[in-house]
Amino acid sequence: MAEIVYMPKLSDTMTEGVVAAWNKKVGEEVKEGEILAEIETDKATMEFESFYDGVLLHIGVETGSAAPVNSVLAVIGAKDEDIAEILKNAGTDDSEANASVPQEESKAEPAVAPANPTPSPTPVATPASKPEKGPSSNDKIFASPLAKKLASEKGIDLNTLQGSGDNGRIIKRDIDHYIPFTPAAPAAQFSAAPAGTESYRDETVSQMRKTIARRLADSKFTAPHFYLTLDIDMDNAISARKAMNAMEGVKVSFNDMVVKSVAHSLKKNPNVNSAWMGDFIRRNDHVHIGVAVAVEDGLLVPVVKFADTKGLMQISAEVKDFAQKAKDKKLQPSDWEGNTFTISNLGMFGIESFTAIVNPPDSCILAIGGIKQVPVVKDGALVPGNVMKVTLSCDHRVVDGATGAAFLQDFKQFLENPVSMLL
């Protein structure tokens, strides 16, 4: 009997998913454990495995399209099995299901001429013909998010393509089969826009960016923020890091030292390691530190769990692994869930100081600026020193000024005396 595959909930905050790519076509055999599709969530693009053996009979969400969690993603069953009743009961129009089969078959065999005398859209521009504009006559391109991404990476102008997807939508296959068009020299002179011409591009908002916008807007406009800024003398931290990295097989970053210092400071200041839950405040005994990582579509916050129990080397290895997984879009839900505190470090980008928005459900987030060499007074003398500026953003519903200040003082003490982190 045919089985319905529903849009999975791949993260705790996911409400809908976008199909970035289908790895199977209608009519193809599917085995349990095979990658059925790639699903773009609010956190990352993740591979989705099939739970069933059989033949892919129906695709409910086309590539580049979004659908709510638990909506019909696909149907898998026996070859030529009638699925009309199943789709009807699932709330999917049967006519659409029946139409999907020949559509997919025609895509799988582009060499076979269709019965319809109307010529099908040409997926690529060829040197033998002048490139045509896409289905949209203005600057808004009708293309899937994955196609836009691939086109951007390959330097392909989507205006030179006509899509082979539904309603002329440009999809991944059109990018893969693209043949560059090289115009003649005279034509190139007229292709350039005159100086002073206004232009713009409308880009589809990714699921990740939608979630970032919603969560941080809720945090900023709901949680009463206040900010505490402190200068930290990093001379000893620089010396300690240099000594550690001189050891064979050791590679510790300043960010690793920050994570370790934060973990110790949270144990001494448990009220900062808390969350506003509406009717109550949750005081966390465990320390799970989220480390913000910039990715192409926005921001991910993988979590170093039980950071207070881990050494610098272990923290360093985990953070590096998370950063690579984030860039490769291979983070799993367990990697980004459960944070009790968040760190955002922009020091490596030359940012001296900034304020960050609290990352719910945390009550605080620590913004780390870059280390800057400035004149400082030591023992009554003006000497060069290395100073790092940090700013603690606090939810005033949970953390008061004195509480946040005490946390920062402990954090400062640990970084200015790194050996104390080993005690």
- Within 10 angstroms of residue 128's Cβ, the number of other Cβ atoms is 7
Strand partners of residue 289: 304, 341
Cα 181 from Cα 131, distance rounded (Å):
7
Cα–Cα distance list, 399 to 274, 345, 365, 404 (Å): 8, 22, 12, 6
Q: Of 37, 44, 84, 85, which Cα lies nearest the Cα of 61?
A: 37
CA angle 328, 258, 245 (to 5 degrees): 80
Residue type, 66: A
Cα 404 from Cα 274, distance rounded (Å):
12
Is the separation of the CB atoms in 266 and 357 below 8 Å?
no
Q: Of 214, 212, 64, 65, which Cα lies nearest the Cα of 149?
A: 64
* Residue 229: strand, helix, or coil: strand
Per the omega criterion (within 30 degrees of 0), is the bond before 194 cis?
no
Which entry of 139, 202, 321, 400 is annotated as an active-site residue?
Answer: 400
Cα 21 from Cα 173, distance rounded (Å):
10
363 torsion bin: left (phi>0), alpha (psi -120 to 50), beta (else): alpha
Cα 158 from Cα 142, distance rounded (Å):
9
Residue type, 134: G
Cα 56 from Cα 225, distance rounded (Å):
51
Which entry of 93, 139, 396, 410 is annotated as an active-site residue?
Answer: 396
Is the separation of the CB atoms in 98 and 83 below 8 Å?
no
Cα 158 from Cα 418, distance rounded (Å):
53
Q: Residue 37: what are its φ and ψ, rounded to 5°?
A: -155, 165
Based on the residue annotation, tell me whether 286 is a catalytic residue of this protein.
Answer: no
Based on the residue annotation, tell me whether 396 is a catalytic residue of this protein.
Answer: yes
* Residue 56: strand, helix, or coil: strand
Cα–Cα distance list, 310 to 16, 290, 331 (Å): 36, 15, 21
Report the catalytic residues. Answer: 396, 400
